[in-house]
Amino acid sequence: MTVIIEQSLANSHSYTEYRGHMSQLLKDGLSTGDTQSEDLTHYSTLNEVRMNRLDKTIHVPQEIKDRLDKLKTKHTLLVISEGWCGDAAQILPVIEKLANATNKLELRIVLRDQNPQLMDAYLTNGARSIPKLILVEPDTLTTRGSWGPRPHDAAKLILDTKEKFGHIPDEAKADLQKWYLQDKGISTMEEIVLLLENAE
């Protein structure tokens, strides 16, 4: 696993680099990932607008900052993502704000389709669901846990919908986006900070 983590980190981007890569591809009418389609490019365009908004509006509450200040161990937050992923667009700006709130964290982002070995080591119920955050000790490259692809309540919303309808209708996707809007990143922050505290 250490070799896979090392290779993935070598392939990784900072948040700024990831956003720049997305933007450059969109100028060429493309999205990240092995598959290209008008739908994926459309989702990527929506996500860029969404992330621009979140970069300006997401704030880390003082209570979360206080908990981050108590962390003793440095960690790399290695996140598997793609530009077309709606959940990633909602979550990555939040993780970036968390990482910027302390000197104990560094966010690195890898693309799912370019890192299949890493993705396959962190499947969710057998699926390549993203975003997926992997907690890595930077000195040893030891993994100390993972999180994702959604906060608990958002995941429950989708699971309940699947159980009811057997698929995810467009209305449920809209409900999910509303959930993220109302939550303001708080659930994501709290769950990731708890993961960090448990890894201490």
| Domains defined for the chain, CATH in brackets | 2-147+189-198 (3.40.30.10)
Whether 168 shows a pLDDT value over 90: the answer reads no
Which residues are within 8 A (CB) of 131 and not within 5 positions of it... i.e. 6 or more apart?
A: 79, 80, 81, 85, 87, 88, 91, 92, 148, 149
Is the pTM for the entire model greater than 0.85? yes
Whether 47 shows a pLDDT value over 90: the answer reads yes
Q: Please state the rounded mean pLDDT for residues 134-144.
A: 97
Q: Give pLDDT tens digits for 94-103.
A: 999 999 999 9
- Write the single-letter amino acid at 135: L
Q: Which pLDDT score is estimated for 75?
A: 97
3-state secondary structure of 139: coil
Q: Give pLDDT tens digits for 141-152.
A: 999 999 999 999
